[in-house]
Amino acid sequence: RLRSFISLIRFIISLAANQSLTILKQVYAPDLEAMFYSCQSIHKFVDDLSQKFETAQVTTDVETIHRTVVKLEVDLLKNWLADTPDKYNEILYLIGRKDNHLWRYSTKIFSYILQKLDLLESVQKYHGQIPHSDDYIRLEEYLQSFHRESDKIERLLVDRIHMDLMLNISEEQYTDRSIDR
């Protein structure tokens, strides 16, 4: 919870250093911790905060505000995921929605999910033939339940796995494999 509060303070200071105390007083509530109990509550809080910044007289341009807001939301979601690792599908749903740009800064979230599921290790160990386990079946059911909306999530997962595989291969192994072909 403290990480989330620190992220919020950093966000406010980065966008409105001169007005940071005023804005912090506006958004701070005794039940601020309760606002971070689910992905949807975090999303709503960040949307409300974004609107406050857009209406406040800050010198920062709107594009910078939006980009920084997205980074804050991803940071809050990442902190929430660390506390509730079994609810990663809620974050995937939120990232997959078309009305936000969370996917742009979601690398750490996807890395955490892949690590939690041991997906990269399974891909390497079984050469892409992932064995059935409860976690993988749950992920597959989640992805199938959203039909076309999961395309973005699937691409991001595949890209993350591909990138990790490429980073794990040594230059010597790469040269050996390319010569064999």
User: Cβ(66)–Cβ(123) under 8 Å?
Assistant: no
Q: Which of 35, 33, 12 is nearest to 22 (CA)?
A: 12
The residue length of the chain stands at: 181
Distance between CA atoms of 66 and 72, rounded to whole angstroms?
10
pLDDT at 1: 64
Does position 35 have pLDDT exceeding 70, yes or no? no
Residues 6 or more apart whose CB falls under 8 angstroms from that of 143 comprise 150, 153, 154
**Token digits of residue 13:** 């200071």
What's the chain's average pLDDT? 81
* Confidence tier at 171 by pLDDT (50, 70, 90): low
What's the one-letter identity of residue 58?
Answer: V
pLDDT, average across residues 103-124: 88
Enumerate the H helices of the chain as residue ranges: 2-15, 20-27, 39-55, 62-83, 88-96, 107-117, 119-125, 134-145, 151-168, 171-180
Predicted TM-score (pTM) of the model is: 0.79
